[in-house]
Amino acid sequence: MNLLNNLSLRMRITLLTGGIVLATSLLLTFSSMYSAQKIFVYDHNITTHATLPLAVVEETVLSPPTSYALPPDRVAAVQAKKQQFDIWSYIYLIIFSGIGMIVTYFVAGKALKPLQELNNSIINITEYNLNDRIPTSIASDEIGSLANSFNAMLERLNESFLRQKRFSASVSHELKTPLSIMNAGVQVLHLEDQPTVEDYKETIQMAERNIKRLINIVDDLMALTNESDTEYADEIDLKQLFLQIKAEVEPLYAEKNIHISDEFEFATIRGNATLVYRAFFNLIENAMKYNITNGNVAIKTSVDNNVHKLIISNSGRGIPPEDINKIFEPFYRVDPSRSRKIGGAGLGLSIVKSIIEKHGWEIKAESTVNVGTCIIVSRIKVG
């Protein structure tokens, strides 16, 4: 079997099919030889009766069989015919088995041609041309289905590469911006012939702000890419959790006078308390940050067809339909200019999505422009 694995698929099909053809041919040959033996024996008996006198033949028919010896020349002729038949049977066996294997080899090559074309198409695809696709007209059978599946995989890979490129570009930009600001501040300080104490204070304060910003970005990136083993067995009281979050968030947005309400159909979940707190803190903070003055934030848990849902909605500006599926991507902002004024690196919802999925939950967003946004966390397993 190991030897077969080292051969091409075409040769393996040929050998296996040839083996079946050979075995079938052997059975047919031996059965025909056995039948021929019976025929020659029958011919022997008839010849025996034909050479006897008529009275003896009639006596033989009417009486029990009696053995008679053939003349030696007749026995030799029968044996020669039998031997000649056997020889030609073996010759035909070899010829037709060989022809069968040759035909199988060419037929297998024809049948496997679409697979070879598929292989050639795949070989030519690299990380630089993931936009290329395999022709789906290669075949309409299992090979065609394989080509369609491979094209779907290429689509996912291409999208993943594009997200990775956007992520890398965004990381570079986010890290470069505070560094550039600090560098500019230091250069301005160098341009002063006699910088004052106030100049130094302003430069230090500016450096501190941007260093904190860098630290936050690095912390967020580490949280986003952290794959370490974490326990998800804490019993979390949602009422207490959101009370703590409201106590922290409300003072930050007191000038907006936003009302936060809650309604709990279930009030406990299982998970990692630290990660769950960070995820829902980010969601509540976003609901406050992108809300209108005198707006509302509603927190609700419900059970729908045995699916547990936690819903956080606000009365904000909403998200356009073309952006709703992108808000969980790292560094993505619906309105970059407005988001810059509000602050943040655009990693909050990416971190939330990562935490939610690590718990085996799902998250999605629904929004209506100028009405509000609703974040739904579902399939929460209650302890």
pLDDT band at 163 (very low <50, low <70, confident <90, very high): confident
pLDDT band at 226 (very low <50, low <70, confident <90, very high): low
pLDDT, the chain, mean: 78
List the single range of 27-31, 190-194, 288-292, 330-334 with lowest mean pLDDT: 330-334
* Same-domain pairing of 104 and 185: no
Alpha carbon of 13 to those of 4, 52, 122, 231: distances in Å?
A: 10, 59, 23, 52
Q: Are 312 and 374 in contact (CB under 8 A)?
A: yes
268 forms beta bridges with 237
Counted residue by residue, the chain has a size of 383
For the cut 60, the answer to whether the pLDDT of residue 380 exceeds it is: no
Alpha carbon of 114 to those of 135, 138, 146, 239, 289: distances in Å?
A: 11, 6, 11, 61, 57
* Same-domain pairing of 370 and 238: yes
Q: Is 124 among the domain residues?
A: no
256: nearest Cα among 367, 342, 365, 347: 342
Strand 362-368 with 372-378, pairing: antiparallel
- Separation of alpha carbons 313 and 221, rounded Å: 26
Q: Is 126 among the domain residues?
A: no
Q: What region does 121 belong to: left with phi over 0, alpha with psi -120 to 50, or beta?
A: alpha
374 forms beta bridges with 313, 366
Three-state SS letters, 86-152? HHHHHHHHHHHHHHHHHHHHHHHHHHCHHHHHHHHHHHCCCCCCCCCCCCCCCCCCHHHHHHHHHHH
Q: Is 156 among the domain residues?
A: no
Report pLDDT for 314.
Answer: 94
Report pLDDT for 130.
Answer: 75
For residue 57, give every residue at least 6 positions away whose Cβ sits within 8 Å of its Cβ, in sequence order, or none: 49
* Same-domain pairing of 356 and 278: yes
* Same-domain pairing of 277 and 351: yes
Q: What is the CATH number of the domain that holds 214?
A: 1.10.287
* Same-domain pairing of 57 and 88: yes
Q: Is 58 among the domain residues?
A: yes
* Same-domain pairing of 240 and 373: yes
* Same-domain pairing of 189 and 249: no
Final residue before a domain boundary, out of 208, 225, 242:
225
* Same-domain pairing of 298 and 202: no
Its pTM stands at: 0.53
- Separation of alpha carbons 28 and 93, rounded Å: 9
Type of residue at 350: S
Six-digit token string for 115: 């697979």
* Same-domain pairing of 207 and 241: no
For residue 160, give every residue at least 6 positions away whose Cβ sits within 8 Å of its Cβ, in sequence order, or none: none
- Separation of alpha carbons 245 and 281, rounded Å: 6
What average pLDDT score do residues 335-344 get?
Answer: 50
Report pLDDT for 62.
Answer: 46
Which segment, 161-175, 195-209, 210-224, is predicted with the most confidence on average?
Answer: 195-209
Q: What is the pLDDT of residues 261-280, one digit of tens each?
A: 999 999 999 888 888 988 89
* Same-domain pairing of 197 and 284: no
- Separation of alpha carbons 190 and 71, rounded Å: 131
226: nearest Cα among 324, 355, 121: 355
* Same-domain pairing of 253 and 367: yes
List the single range of 22-36, 102-116, 216-230, 351-365 with lowest mean pLDDT: 216-230
- Separation of alpha carbons 280 and 242, rounded Å: 8
Identify the residue whose tokens are 């006078």. Answer: 257
Q: Are 258 and 316 in contact (CB under 8 A)?
A: no
Report pLDDT for 186.
Answer: 86
Final residue before a domain boundary, out of 111, 136, 154:
111
Q: Is 136 among the domain residues?
A: no
What average pLDDT score do residues 93-108 get?
Answer: 83
Q: Is 369 among the domain residues?
A: yes
For the cut 60, the answer to whether the pLDDT of residue 54 exceeds it is: no
Q: Look at the chain and report how many structural domains it folds into.
A: 3
Q: Is 149 among the domain residues?
A: no
Q: Which domain holds residue 202?
A: 162-225
For the cut 50, the answer to whether the pLDDT of residue 46 exceeds it is: no
Q: Is 138 among the domain residues?
A: no
List the single range of 214-228, 269-283, 332-346 with lowest mean pLDDT: 332-346
For the cut 80, the answer to whether the pLDDT of residue 238 exceeds it is: yes
Q: What is the CATH number of the domain that holds 253?
A: 3.30.565.10
Final residue before a domain boundary, out of 77, 92, 111:
111
Report pLDDT for 56.
Answer: 45
* Same-domain pairing of 8 and 84: yes
